[in-house]
Amino acid sequence: MKSFDNKIAVVTGGGNGIGRALVMQLTAAGCHVALCDLSERDTAETLRLCQQAIDSGIRVTAHKCDVSSEAQLSAFQQQVTEQHHTEHINLLFNNAGISGGQSFVRDDREHWDKVFSICWGGVYLGCRVFMPMLLASDEAHIINTSSVNGFWACLGDTVEHSAYSTAKFAVKGFSESLVIDLRKNAPHIGVSVVMPGHIGTSIALNSQKMWLGESANMSVQDIAELRARWASINPDADQLTDDMVRDLIQSNGEKFRDEAPTTADQAAQCILQGVQHKQWRILVGDDAIALDKAVRDNPEEAYSTGFFGLANTPSRQVQ
């Protein structure tokens, strides 16, 4: 797809982070966009940032949708059809995701399943629901967001990352399977799997709010559980006061967002260039490229203590 001008794109998780950056860059390139997110406040801000494109005649619509719900995605698809006056779309960015569900052993099943249902189910259901509109186009492309955790299933030797990594492995495998499937059965549709490293987004802050609410309003039980989790990594964490736990939650999320080696804008630019060059595999960030090489060069050692010395950096966090 050499040009995005006058194309129609669907972007899930378009309220912030990479999703918002994709919406802004697509609309600046003349692409009409339907975006969805759980946060109406965030989608309203994305619309505000796209106002110049909207004023020039680009259609941008915002929708509230939980991508783990097929019913809500189907309603979103119907709204796209009606509001964009179209039976087809050209681009599907399955981008929405959250973090959490670190341990299969320790975490509640409800917590683990929620992460998996959004990070994997949102991609699978997004493709199912919007496939008829992709098939109806004369040129189309599916872009599924996996992660470096889609080929390396942890954050290091001290932190579990089970639900998120499992989901991102599923996204990667599914996307790879579509390369041949689409080539044989829908050759006008391309597919790319995106694997970001550490990108400067608010995913850590937003996920924390989803699970625990605002840090200032965290319950005594939630604080105690976090303190115990941290103490299993560093015993000194057991001495943290409740206020110190609250402050660390906020500061860690802000540090993840503000000190990333790759910005959301840079990530979106890399993704869109990859789509234009028909790359089925898009690594985002120098850290992602380096980790991919390290795992490929020595897969048997990928979870050994020595390997963690190379790979256990903040860049190993989720997108």
Reference 260, options 199, 186, 205, 175; nearest CA is 199
Q: What is the pLDDT of residue 255?
A: 79
Q: What is the CATH number of the domain that holds 69?
A: 3.40.50.720
Is 1 domain-assigned?
A: no
What is the C-alpha separation between 194 and 256, in angstroms, rounded? Answer: 20
Q: Which run of H or of E encompasses 263?
A: strand 262-263
231 and 120, same domain (yes or no): no
Q: Which residues contact 282 (CB under 8 A, 6 or more apart)?
A: 192, 193, 194, 195, 270, 271, 274, 275
Looking up tokens 């690594």, which residue turns up?
283
82 plus 164 within the same structural domain: yes
- Distance between CA atoms of residues 161 and 167, nearest Å: 10
Alpha helices in the chain (DSSP H): 17-28, 40-49, 51-55, 70-83, 109-119, 121-135, 162-185, 203-212, 220-231, 242-258, 264-276, 286-297, 305-311
* 3 occurs within a structural domain: no
Question: What was the pLDDT predicted at 317?
Answer: 40
Beta-ladder partners of 191: 142
Q: Which amino acid is at 57?
A: G
Helix (H) or strand (E) segment spanning residue 228: helix 220-231
Residues 87 and 232 in one domain: no
How many domains are contained in the chain? 2
Eight-class DSSP state of 32: E
Task: Indicate if 128 and 183 belong to the same structural domain.
Answer: yes
Cα radius of gyration rounded to whole Å, the chain: 20
Asked, for residue 152, whether it belongs to a domain, the answer is yes
In a domain? residue 299: yes
SS3 13: coil
Q: Tell me, what DSSP letter sits at residue 88? A: -
Q: Dihedral sign, CA of 63, 279, 21, 16?
A: positive
Between CA 49 and CA 235 the distance in angstroms is 45
What is the extent of the structural domain holding 224? 202-259
Q: Are residues 122 and 225 in the same domain?
A: no
pLDDT value, residue 242? 82
Cβ neighbours of 55 (radius 10 Å): 8
Q: Is the domain of 240 the same as that of 284?
A: no
Give per-residue pLDDT as tens, 20-43: 999 999 999 999 999 999 999 999
CA 183 – CA 189 distance, rounded (Å): 8
Supply the pLDDT for residue 115: 95
3-state DSSP assignment of residue 308: helix
Residues 128, 96 share a domain: yes
Residues in the chain predicted with pLDDT less than 50, given as ranges, are: 312-319
The confidence score (pLDDT) of residue 239 equals 87
- Residue the block writes with tokens 């709204």: 79
Q: Are residues 125 and 221 in the same domain?
A: no
At 65 the pLDDT is 98
d(CA 97, CA 62): 17
Q: How far is CA 29 from the centre of its chain?
A: 22
